Structure 1
Amino acid sequence: MDLMKEFWAKAKSDVKRIALPEGEEERTIKASEIIKREGLAEVILLGNVEKIRDKARSLNVNIEGVEIIDPETAEKTTQYAQEFYELRKSKGITLEKAEKTVKDTMYFGTMMVKLGDADGLVSGAVHTTGDLLRPGLQVIKTAPGISTVSSFFIMLVPDSTYGNNGMFLFSDCAVNPNPTAEQLAAIAISTAETAKNLCNMEPKVAMLSFSTKGSADHELVEKVRKATEIAKELRPDLQIDGELQLDAAIVDKVAQQKAPGSTVAGQANVLIFPDLQAGNIGYKLVQRLAKAEAIGPVCQGFAKPINDLSRGCNVEDIVNVVAVTAVQAQATV
C-alpha cells in the first residue's frame, strides 16, 4: 500500500546497515536478495558463511554483495565479548561467559547495534520475542525518558473508512503480557508519538476495554480508567480517551450513543489494548478476517531500533520490517 511505498522511499534516501541474526533461515535469505536489489538497506546476514551461501544456491537466490558475518570467527568477537563483559559484570557475568554469549547471533547482532557497527536489527522468523528482548534490554536498553519497551502493528485495512482511512496503530501486541496502569499509559504515549513521527498521523488514542465510560465495573476496567487518567495527566496535549469499547472507539454512530462529547470516540486511529492476549488476538483477527496488511510487530522504546517478527512471517514481512527499521534508524540520534 501507499504507506509502505513511503517507507521504502525513505529507507532508500539514507541507506542504513541492518543486522539479520537469522542469516541461515530461508525466508531471511530470500528477503536479503530483495532488500539488496531494491536498495532498502545494507543487510548483514549473521551465521555460518558456507551454510548461508549453500542455502542461497539451493534456493536460487542471489546474495552477491550481501555481507555475511560468522560470530564464531568474526574479527570483532573478542571486542564484543569485552564490551559485553563490562556491561554485565555487575550482574555476575564472567569474561568467559561473555565470550560464549556474544557468539550467539542474537547477542552478536545486538552488540553490533550498540557499538554502531549496525544501525538496527530485525529478528523473529525463528527466535521468540523473548530472545529479542533479552539482549535488547541488557545491551541497547531504553531510550532516555522511556520506562516501558512495547510494540505496535501498523494495520492497513483495505476499503475501510475507519481510523485514518483504514490505517491504525495497534499496541501492545507482542511485548507486555499484563501491563500495569502506569505501563499502559506509557504504551499509549509512546504509540501516539510513533503515529506522529513514523506515520504522519494525528493520533486519536482509544484505551480499549469491555466497558465504555462506566458501563461496567471490574478491576480490569479500573486499570484502563487509571491508565487513561495517567496518560492524560502526563500528556495533556495528546487526544487520549477511555475506557472505550472497540465499536465506541471507531464507529461514530455508536460513539454518539456511548461516549457523547468525546474527541476520540468514533474517530480513534490508535488502539491501545488492555493486555497482550487482547492485542495479539485483535491484530490477528483483523489481519485474517479483514484481510488487513499487518506491518510489525515494531518495537518502540529502545535507544536504538531492534525489531521483532512473527514466526509466521513471510518474505514480504521481513522486507517491510527492515524498511521500517531503517526509517527508525534515520531518526535515531
Structure 2
Amino acid sequence: MNAPVKGAPGEVHEVEHRAKVAAPAELVYRLLADVTHWPRLFPSIVHMERFADDGTNERVGVWLTTGDKVFSWVALRVPRPGELRVDYRQETTQPPVADMGGSWIVEPLSAGECLVRLLHDYRPAATEPATLAFIARTLERNSTAELAALKDAAEREAAGEWLVTEIEDTTRVDGPAADVYEFLADASAWPERIPHIVSVDARDGGENVQLLDWVTHTARGVDHPSEVVRVCFPPHRIAYKHLLVPPLAAVHTGSYTVTADGGGALVSSRHTVVLTASGIAGVLGEGADLTDARAFTRQALSTSSREVLARAKEFAERGRHSG
C-alpha cells in the first residue's frame, strides 16, 4: 500500500509502504533491529556488515542484488527500541539516487498483530522522467518484496514454525592463516582441489565481490547447480548467499572465518538455512517431516564443509611443511 509521492523532480521525494503482520510488534522490531537477520529475511540482501555500533548509532555495509548485479553502500542506522522504530540514512549511495533515508516503524495493533510502515525519502541524481520512473519502480518492487518477506518470517516465527537451521564446523590448521584464506578465496581453483566441486565459473562482481556459478556433485549422485554471491573481507572472512537453492531450502547464507591461533589458524564454516516445508516430501519422500529435513540438511552441509576445511588445511600445511 503506497502513500502518494511528494515533491517535484529534483526535490526530495517521499514514499511509504505498509503491511499488517500477524505477529507481536516486539518480535517484528527485533528482526528489523538486528541486521544479522536481514540476509535470511530479505531475498535481495546478500550481506549486512556492522562496521561500528556505539549502542545508539550503527554504521553498516549493505550488499544487495538487483538482476545480475550487486550494489553496495554504507548506511547509518539509529535503532529506537522504545518507539519500535529504526531510522536510517545512506552514507554512500548508488546512482541514480543522490541521497536516501527513511524509517522502519512498527505500530502495535493488538497483542498478536502490528502494522509495519516502511518510509523512504530520496533525492534523485537526475530529473529526467525516465530516471524518476526507474527509482519509483525500484522502490515499489523492493519495498513490496521486503514487507512480504518480513511478514512471512515474522508470522512463521510467531506461530512456532521455526524453519531456521544453523550449522558450524571448525578445524585447526598448522599453517599460516593467510594461506587458508587464499585457498578459500580462490574459488575458481576449487574444481581441481575439492572432489565434490565439478565446475566453477567465477565473475568479478566489484570490489571484493565474487559472482560464482558452480556445480557440486552430491552424495546422492546428482550434480547440483548453484549461483552464489560472495563478499570477501581479506584476510579473515568471506560471507556468501546462494541465489539458487534446492527445493528443501528457501534461503541459504553462510561464511568462512579464519582466525590466527598461535603459529597456526582456526577456520570455521557456518551455514544458515531457512527450510521450506513444501519441499520436504519431494526430496525426502512422503512421511518425512521437519526433523528429517533438519537432519538431512545438517548432514549434507556439514559433510561438504568438512571436505572444504580439510582441503584448506592440507593446502596451508603443505606450504609450511614442504622443504
Which TM class, normalised by the smaller chain length? under 0.3
Richer in helix (by share): 1
Q: Which has the higher contact order (CA 8 A, sep 6+)?
A: 1
Richer in strand (by share): 2
TM-score normalised by L of structure 2 = 0.25
Who wins on radius of gyration, i.e. which is larger? 2
